[in-house]
Amino acid sequence: MKIKGEAIGSPSEQVVVFTRGDRDIVIKARPLLKEDYDLFDKMVPEPKPGTIRKPNQKPVLDFESKGYLAKLEKYAEKRTSWMMIRSLSATPDIEWEQVDMSDPATWHLYEKELTDSGFSMLERGRIMEIIITACGLDSEKIEEATQAFLATQDQAQEE
């Protein structure tokens, strides 16, 4: 797809730099694309609801089952952790000590590793912020861009 003859492109990589004494710690976050989520889906299939069977009625999917909802919550947690660590793979030479990209059971440990590495709560928040921005999920920036666009439309109509 193109708009006005130009390819859309993906959101841009984001960078944050933290100073530690006389050295800089550079953290990069990249946007996740369809192939990133395809890989996730191969590793962690989305849970399927069970069915409710009642006499003389067709079976219906049970989206309210506590078991299904618990599985769905775990799935969402893994997807969020995947997004975080996959996005941070843009950081040159990043080495996880507890997180294993091929083992979904370890993905949630990224938070502990960031903490154990010495990043403060505010620094960890800033890292999450650049991931959200890189992945195009920053609603504030989307709203700013929308308002700026609408303002140019208003100006164009006044001229």
The DSSP result for 43-67, as a single string, is HSPPP--EEE--TTS--EEETT-HH
Q: What is the pTM of this model?
A: 0.76
* SS3 category, 42: helix
What distance in Å separates the CA atoms of residue 38 and residue 43, rounded to the nearest whole number? 9
The pLDDT value given to residue 109: 97
Residue 158: is its pLDDT beyond 80? no
What ranges in the chain are assigned the alpha helix state H? 34-43, 66-88, 110-116, 121-134, 139-158
Residue 9: is its pLDDT beyond 80? no
Going from N- to C-terminal start, the domains of the chain cover: 2-143
Confidence bin at 157 (pLDDT 50/70/90) = low
pLDDT digits (tens, 9 = 90+) for 60-94: 888 888 998 999 999 999 999 999 999 999 999 99
* Closest C-alpha to 1, from 148, 10, 39: 10
pLDDT digits (tens, 9 = 90+) for 46-63: 999 888 888 888 888 888
